[in-house]
Every structure is written in C-alpha cells, then in structure tokens.
Amino acid sequence: MLSFLLRRIGSGLALIVVIASLMFVLMNMTGQNVARNIAGQTASEEQVAAKSAELGLDQPVVTRYLDWIGSAIQGDLGSSWFTGQPVTDTIGAKLPVTLSILLVGLLVGTIFSVIIGVAAAVKGGWVDRAVQLLAIIGFALPSFLIALVLAAIFAVKLQIFPAVGYVELAESFSGWAKSITLPAIALAIGAIAATAQQVRGSMIDVLKMDYVRTLRSRGLSARSLLFRHALRNAAPPALTVLSLQFIGLVGGAVVVEKVFGLYGIGTLVFSSSSSGDQPLVLGVVVVMVLIIVLVNLLMDVAYGWLNPKVRV
C-alpha cells in the first residue's frame, strides 16, 4: 500500500510541474505587452521599460521560467503584477469558497450517485428508466445553466437561499451552508448523472456474481448483502468515474462561482487570465491541479481500501 501511495504522490507532483510549465509556455506565447497594460496607455516608453524591468520581463523567458519554478517549489508563487500582493495570500483568501463548493458538491454527488445507482440496479422497472432519463438530462445540462435555473427559482423567486455572496464557516454554519447549497448542487448534478450510471452498471454486474449467490445462501440480510458486500465490490469502477468527474467539477466552479457571485479561485482564474496577470494565473492553475491531485489521491486510498488486490 505504501509503495502504491508513493508512486501516486510522485506522479501527482510530476503532473503539477509539467502543467505549470506548459501554462508558462502558453502565457509567454502571447506577445501581449503586459507592461504597457499595467503602466497605462498614456505612459511613456521609458515608464513602460521601467515597469518591464521591475517585473523582470526584460529577462529571457528561460531565465524567468527557472526563477519562477525555483521559487514555486519552495512555496513562493510570486506577486501579482497588478496589485503587488503575494499570490499565495490572494489565493489563500479565496480558497475556502471554492473548496467549500467543490467538496460539498463532491460529497453530495457521491451520496446521491450511490442512492440513485443502487435503487436503479435493484428496483429496475420505472425507477431504472427514470434514472436513465436523469442521466441524459444531467449530461445535457451544463452546470452553469443548472446554476442559473436554481438561482432563478430558489434564490430569486422563492428566496430560500441567498442569490449571491459567501458566508464564512467560522462566522455562521447555517449561513455558510445556505450560501453554498445552490452552487454545490449545480456542480454535483452532472457528476451524479455520470456516476449513478456507473454505480447502476457495476451493481448489476456484481449482483450476478457467484459469490453474491453464495452469500445469499448463507441467509445474510438484504441490507448486508447490498450495502456491505455488493456495494463495496461495485464501488471501485464508480470511484474512477467520480475522480474523472471531479476534474469537471473544478472546471464548472469557474462559471458557477460567477453565477452566485462567489469570489473564489474560479473567478480568480477568469479575472487574472483576462488581465494577463501571469503570476496569479500560474498560481491559480497550480493550486487547482494540486486540489485535483489531492482529491484523486484520496480516491486512490479509498480505492485501495475497497479493493484488497491493488494494495500489493
């Protein structure tokens, strides 16, 4: 199990470095004159050159890359070109919002995928057909559209939940819960559609297995049979789908945050990339990939716990 985990951690770190490098290259292909943007259109050539030198833009790309990656490895992601604030501080302030909706979305997604998938597999009939329909609809509704519809109904019309803004967890639990309910649901629905399908499929497969019949011959209760034995064996493939879905969840956060006026790192990646604030964009991308890697690592651990064969 340990070497399995170490391998996963290693490949996760490699992924972060490679993607950060890729992004660095992409952002420097632009030829956009950021120094001019920051200094302002009325600035003189000297002022622009001075800004350029200040940001280190007069250095060769390779030097800048090595500088950036060198300090990034030590945890220093540089400072914003526009505000001058350390990138880690800016991201740190916005991370709780995004993590809240992502993790709650993932949790809600997991719970409902299991309930819906198991019900479809066991009950069959109209329950099953309803789930198939839900899967198609869940696939066809992008998360921002779900977010818009939820906002229109539950925030604007019924006013059960706030339409915009985030309440910190430390401030008020119920406020926090209310402020992230709609965004988390909007994110989770697509993941539920895909994952519940997989849970259904692998439950149907597992329930046909010889050992399930043998367990039944031992007179085990239906509850133990379904939720202890069958579900555990059906879970690994569903977990793989879920970790793929999580990548989609992170992408969805970019748009869903906008709908609900949440200033998280999704909004940050949008605003910083449109202004060309390179250190901030790179920092946010690194953090996003880090979140994906960590969640996937968590799922790998769960996978290993569920499936004794991969532990070796």
Check binding of 307 to other proteins (CB under 8 A).
Answer: yes
Check binding of 263 to other proteins (CB under 8 A).
Answer: no
Q: Which residues pair with 79 in a beta bridge?
A: 86
CB 120 within 8 A of CB 196: yes
Q: Of 194, 195, 193, 196, nearest to 117 (Cα)?
A: 196
Residues in 32-51 that interact with other proteins by CB under 8 A: 32
Sole binder of other proteins in the list 104, 116, 135, 287 (CB under 8 A): 135
Check binding of 139 to other proteins (CB under 8 A).
Answer: yes
Sole binder of other proteins in the list 49, 103, 273, 301 (CB under 8 A): 273
Sole binder of other proteins in the list 70, 85, 216, 227 (CB under 8 A): 216
Check binding of 19 to other proteins (CB under 8 A).
Answer: yes
Check binding of 292 to other proteins (CB under 8 A).
Answer: yes
Question: How far is 87 from 285, CA to CA, in rounded Å?
Answer: 12
126 — alpha (psi -120 to 50), left (phi > 0) or beta?
A: alpha
Token duo for residue 284: 């946010």
Candidate segments 18-26, 40-48, 60-68, 89-97, binder of other proteins by CB under 8 A: 18-26
Shortest reach from residue 226's CB to other proteins, in Å: 12
Check binding of 184 to other proteins (CB under 8 A).
Answer: no
Sole binder of other proteins in the list 240, 290, 301, 302 (CB under 8 A): 240
CB 20 within 8 A of CB 72: yes
Shortest reach from residue 169's CB to other proteins, in Å: 25
Query: Which residue type, as a one-letter code, is found at position 230?
Result: A
What angle in degrees, to the nearest 10, is found between the helix axes of 173-207 and 143-150? 130
Residues in 141-160 that interact with other proteins by CB under 8 A: 141-145, 148-149, 151-152, 156-157
CB 164 within 8 A of CB 157: no
Check binding of 104 to other proteins (CB under 8 A).
Answer: no
Sole binder of other proteins in the list 78, 117, 183, 190 (CB under 8 A): 190
Check binding of 122 to other proteins (CB under 8 A).
Answer: no
Q: 79 φ, ψ to 5°?
A: -125, 155
Check binding of 274 to other proteins (CB under 8 A).
Answer: yes
CB 235 within 8 A of CB 310: no
Question: How far is 278 from 205, CA to CA, in rounded Å?
Answer: 49
CB 113 within 8 A of CB 238: yes
Check binding of 247 to other proteins (CB under 8 A).
Answer: yes
Candidate segments 38-46, 68-76, 93-101, 192-200, binder of other proteins by CB under 8 A: 192-200
